[in-house]
Amino acid sequence: MSETKVIFCRHGETDWNKQRKFQGTIDIPLNDEGRTQAQAIARELKAQDLAAVWTSPLLRAHETAVEISVAAGIALRLEERLRERDLGILQGRLYRDVKQQFPKVWAAWKSFESLPPEANSESEVGVVARVESALFDIAVAHPGKTVAVVGHGGTLRSLLKHAGSVGNASMTILMVGPGQKWRLVQQDDQDHLPKPSLKLGEMWEDVELKKTFANVTPTTILLCRHGESVWNKARKFQGTIDMPLNEAGLEQARYMAEAVKGRNVVAVWSSELARARDTAATIAAAVGVSLRIDERLLERHLGNLQGASFDETRTKNPAVWAAWKSYQPLPVETGAEPDAVVAARLESALYAIAIAHPGATVAVVLHGANGRCLLKRSIGNGSITTLEVGPGRQWRMVRASEIDHLPVSLARDALKASKM
């Protein structure tokens, strides 16, 4: 059975989106801008040979889905499990009021953490469970087909976790199934819209920053995870221990270099560790640019996990293994560099690289544990994840864990990581 391509469309703009108010389960219709956005997304999807259009029953999603289904000439199906997250005390409140009156709730929301009990909201775990349940059933109903799903920003935030918010009338592509699994392929595609749309949780200052830099092109960062090392093959935690690439890793580096070659890369940056540096040197030689080292790209120090095997950790330290597998902060006793610190130094490097190469395309060779802290997802050896960075201190993921450039024999680890 083949994977189902799910094009997850966030509904068009509403007056409450424009006023910067939380909607949740309150049923607000599209405004004029939202209807125009819905028509734009319908035109874009008309050529996609959609097998079905599924939608949340809430008005703003349903109205968007009607435009898509009419343009595609296929029936519209309602799915209760796609409804927006119940946001408890946030619903009906302006963002600025939540920030002032419920600072802990606002801080959790802005950092994509679980909302505290005082928010009285539907749990993130519950949201993910019901949305995944719907997606898996839709995939079973349409194996190997392309399906449009119209839903909400809050549910997608919960599903994608720290990957970020998406704009009104944006498209996020998921490959779902076979079985109980899915992977993110592309996020927050707005190319079909005449201007960037509003994102859930953006304050007015965020929107004004966007307007200020409306004509400034962000920097495209190709995050290339280094090729397989001898300890990757042995399934051992490396951290800052300097392990070289193995033969498969050298091959992956060459395939990445060929994939990057045609993308007008102006610079290649890497950490100083051999497995990243040698991968980056291969890419730099292929595209004809110099290699630059930035110590902020160094792999995360994993404390007493370094040198331990995955199997040993799973058996002897189940709590540590559970935190690692679920992308939660590692227990203090591991002595690992905190994930927030890792993400902060990586972002610092990315923002500096974007300033050095505004509007250009840059390859950055990254380590696996670093990628987990930054993206809150696994990225396999030899994979390429595309980010747009800047202008200013902002970034978004455009495409995750691309592995089409790798032959199947070299893509197994990357494919497994993309489904974690």
pLDDT, tens digit (0-9, with 9 covering 90-100), for 365-391: 999 999 999 988 888 999 999 999 988
State the Cα angle at 341 between 249 and 283, rounded to 5°: 25
- Within a domain: 173: yes
Pair (224, 140) in one structural domain: no
CATH code for position 306: 3.40.50.1240
Is residue 248 a part of any domain in this protein?
Answer: yes
Q: Do 113 and 200 reside in the same domain of the chain?
A: yes
Is 255 found in the same domain as 106? no
- Same domain, residue pair 187 and 282: no
- Is 80 exceeded by the pLDDT of residue 392? no
Under the banding of pLDDT at 50, 70 and 90, the label for residue 328 is confident
Q: Which of 151, 180, 208 is the last residue of a domain?
A: 208
Other CB atoms closer than 10 Å to residue 69's CB: what's the count? 22
In a domain, 214, yes or no: no
Number of folded domains that form the chain: 2
Q: Note whether 156 and 142 are within 8 A (CB).
A: no
| pLDDT of 255 strictly over 90 | yes
SS (H, E, C) 261-318: HCCCEEEEEECCCHHHHHHHHHHHHHHCCCEEECHHHCCCCCHHHCCCEHHHHHHHCH
Please list the active-site residues: 11, 84
Give dist(CA 144, CA 255) in Å, integer.
28
73: left (phi over 0), alpha (psi -120 to 50) or beta: left
Task: Look at residue 259 and tell me if it is in a domain.
Answer: yes
Q: Judge if 133 and 110 occupy the same domain.
A: yes
Is 204 in the same domain as 230? no
Residues 198 and 279 both lie in one domain: no
Tokens 């469309």 — which residue? 9
Over the stretch 129-163, which tens digit does the pLDDT of each residue have?
999 999 999 999 999 999 999 999 999 999 987 66
Give a yes or no: residue 179 inside a domain: yes
Considering the domain architecture, whether residues 186 and 225 belong to the same structural domain is answered as no
| Mean pLDDT value of segment 248-262 | 94
Residue 135 and residue 226 in one domain: no
Which of the four pLDDT bands, split at 50, 70 and 90, describes residue 409? confident
At which of 163, 183, 208 does a domain end? 208
Omega within 30 of 0 (cis) for the link into 116: no
Residue 144 in domain: yes
Does 134 fall in a domain? yes
Residue 61, pLDDT score: 98
Distance CA 52, CA 82 (A): 15
Does some domain include residue 277? yes
Query: What stretches of 57-203 show up as alpha helix (H) in DSSP?
Result: 59-72, 95-101, 103-110, 124-141, 153-160
What average pLDDT does the chain have? 91
Domain boundary pick from 157, 182, 208:
208
- Please state, in angstroms and as integers, the Cα–Cα distance from residue 88 to each residue in 24, 93, 123, 311, 406, following that order: 8, 10, 10, 41, 46
* pLDDT value for 414: 53
Q: What pLDDT does residue 187 have?
A: 85
Residue 321, beta-bridge partner list: none
* Contact by Cβ (8 Å): 138, 145: no
Please say whether the beta carbons of 164 and 397 come within 8 A: yes
Do 87 and 43 share a structural domain? yes
Residue 419: per-residue pLDDT? 39
Write out pLDDT tens, residues 78-93. 999 999 999 999 999 9
- Tell whether 42 and 61 lie within a shared domain: yes
> What pLDDT shows up at residue 215?
55
Residue 416 has pLDDT above 70, yes or no: no
Residue-range definition of the domain harbouring residue 299: 219-418
Whether residues 230 and 315 fall in one domain: yes
